[in-house]
Amino acid sequence: MKKSINIGIILLFLLQACSVEENTKNQTALGTIPDDTPTNSPQVLENSVENEIIEKEVEEKQEQSKPEANTEIADMKEVLKEFPQGALSFLSDNEKQCISEISTTESLKSMEKSLMEEGAILQEHMDYFTSCNLPGPPGIGIKEETSPNDTESAQETYYATSFASVENIRSLDKDGVSPHLEKVDDTTLRLFYSSIEVKGIAVSLCDYELKCELQGALQRMSDLTIIETLDGVRRGYYVALNPQTQQKDIFTAFFSEDGLSYSNEIPLGFPVDQNEIAWGVPDAVLMPNGLIRVYWVYTEDKTSDEKLVSATSKTTKGVEFVMDPGYRLENGYVDFEVIRAVEGDWKALMSYTPHYMPEIPQSLFYATSKDGLKWDLIEERITPKGYSYFDPTAIQIDDKNFLVVGSAAPNTLGAREHILFAAELVLP
C-alpha cells in the first residue's frame, strides 16, 4: 500500500512537470511572461487558448491548401476505344495508369478531341503529363479555357485564317435555313430560304446590304437552287416528295423571273425514303461547257458520315442526268455550294456534319478544283467556332470578294433557333 502511494505521488510530480514545460513553450511562442507569474494565472491560460486557436487556424489553412483527391479514376480503355490513335495510345501501361489516377474519362476525351481539332490543349490537360513526369504531346500548343456560356454568346463579326478571312458577320434578323442567293441586277438580289413563318420557301428582294422585303412563298419543296441554262431558261432544282412513290427526290422545273411560280416539274431519278434525314441540299451549277451539274449530300446508311456526290446533265437542257463516279468529298462534309465555276478554276464552300456537336461545331470550309469533280479541301474552318454555321450560298462581287449568306445557330444540342447571317468572304 505505501509503495502504491509513493508511486502515485511520483506520477503526480511528473504530470505537473510536463504541464510546466508545455506552458513554458507556449510562453516562448506568445511572448515573455514574468518569472513570478503563476502557471495557472489568467494570463498563461489566455495565452494557451490563443496558441491553440493559432495552431488550429494553421492546420485548417494547410488542409485547405492540399489538392482535392481525385474521386474518379479515368476509364483509359474507354478513351482509347474512342481515340485509338490519340496521344494517350503511345504511352506505356504505367504512364497511362498515372494519368488515369489524376484525371477523369470525360476530361481525357476532351483533351483528345482538342488535339484532333485544334492541335492544342488546355493547361489542365498538360498538367496531367507534367504531374506524371512525362513530356507533353509533341507539336501542340496551350489554348485558353472558354466559358460554358461562350457557345450562347453572339457570334463574332470577323474571322481570319491563313488563306482567307470572313468579315462583317451579321444577323439578318430572319429565322430560316437552306438559303439561295441570286443576282437580279447591279442593285438588287433575290433571296430564297426555308421559313417556318411562310410554311415553305420565302422569296424576298434585297439590296446588296441584305435589307430584304418579302415577295411571296413557294410550297411543297425545300433546298431550292436556281441557275440559268445556256438557252436562257431559269431552271430550279429542289427536294420534294414524289406523290406516286412516296419517296423524296431531287426535282427540276421552269421558274418564273420573279421566282414565285414554276412549271413542268420533273424528278431527276435519285430517290430515297422520305424519312431519310442526312440527304439532299442540292446545289446546281452551270458548267463552263454549258452542261449542268448538281451536287448533294448522300449517306450509305443511317450511321455512316455524310458524303458529297454529284450528277451531270446529258445535255444543256439540264433535265436528264448521269451520276458522276465516286465521291466529291467524304468524312462528314455537307451543304456543298460552288461559288465559282470557270475553266480550270472552281471554288466552293461547305459545312460539316452536326453529328459531333457541341465538341465539333458546324463550321464553313473552303475547297478548290480544276474540274468540279476532284476537290482540294482546306481542313481549316473559316468561321468562328463559338457558333455553328451551315447552308452557305454566295454571289461573286469581284475576283477576291464574295457575298455570303447562310444559316447559323448556337453550338448546342437539342432545340435551337436557326437564323440567317450574311458575311463577306475575302480570298487572297
According to the model, what pLDDT value does residue 250 have? 97
* Rounded Cα–Cα distance for residues 373 and 369 (Å): 7
Q: Which residue has the higher pLDDT, 242 or 55?
A: 242
Give start-end residues of each CATH 2.115.10.20 domain in the chain.
150-426
Q: How far apart are CA 294 and CA 322, in angstroms?
A: 10
Answer whether residue 68 shows pLDDT above 50. Answer: no
Instruction: Give 141's pLDDT tier (boundaries 50, 70, 90).
Output: low
Question: Residue 23: pLDDT band by 50, 70, 90 thresholds?
Answer: very low
Q: What is the pLDDT of residues 346-396, one digit of tens each?
A: 999 999 999 888 888 999 999 999 999 999 999 999 999 889 999 999 999
Cα 305 to Cα 287: distance, rounded to the nearest angstrom: 28
Strands (E) located in 30-145:
120-121, 141-142
Q: Which helix (H) or strand (E) holds 239?
A: strand 234-242
Tens of pLDDT along 196-233? 889 899 999 999 999 999 999 999 999 999 999 999 99
The Cα–Cα gap between 238 and 250 comes to 5
Mean of all residue pLDDT scores within the chain:
82
For helices 42-65 and 2-30, angle between their N-to-C axes, nearest 10 degrees = 70
The whole-number pLDDT of residue 67 equals 41
Q: What is the mean predicted confidence (pLDDT) over 327-332? A: 96
Choose the weakest-confidence range: 14-18, 41-45, 72-76, 290-294: 41-45
pLDDT of residue 226: 98
More confident residue, 341 or 145: 341
Look at residue 154 and tell me whether its pLDDT is greater than 60.
Answer: no
Question: Is pLDDT above 60 for 270?
Answer: yes
Share of the chain above pLDDT 70, in %: 78
Contact indicator for 250, 267 with CB cutoff of 8 Å: yes
| pLDDT computed for residue 144 by the predictor | 59
pLDDT digits (tens, 9 = 90+) for 24-59: 444 433 334 344 444 444 343 344 444 444 455 445
Most confident of 17-21, 166-170, 273-277: 166-170
Residue length of the chain: 428
Percent of the chain with pLDDT over 90: 57
Quickly state the pLDDT bin for 66 (edges 50, 70, 90). very low
The grid coordinates of residue 171 equal 444577323
Q: What is the mean pLDDT of residues 98-120?
A: 82
Q: Tens digits of per-residue pLDDT, 281-312?
A: 999 999 999 999 999 999 887 678 999 999 99
Task: Judge contact between 174 and 198, C-beta under 8 A.
Answer: no
Write down the pLDDT at residue 165.
Answer: 94
Interval 249-274 mean pLDDT: 96
**What pLDDT is stored for residue 14 in this prediction?**
43
Neighbouring-strand partners of residue 402:
396, 425
Whether 428 has a pLDDT exceeding 60, the answer reads yes
- DSSP string over 22-42: HHHHHHHHH----TTS-TTSH
Rounded Cα distance between 260 and 255, Å, is: 8
| Residue 113: how many other CB atoms lie within 10 Å | 17
- pLDDT computed for residue 35 by the predictor: 44
pLDDT digits (tens, 9 = 90+) for 163-189: 999 999 999 999 999 999 999 999 999
Output the pLDDT for position 18. Answer: 45
Are β-strands 141-142 and 120-121 bridged in parallel, bridged antiparallel, or unpaired?
parallel
Residue 414 scores a pLDDT above 90 = no
pLDDT of residue 7: 43
What pTM does this model have?
A: 0.65
pLDDT given for residue 253 in this prediction: 98
3-class DSSP state for residue 378?
A: strand
Q: Which fold has domain 150-426?
A: Tachylectin-2; Chain A (2.115.10)
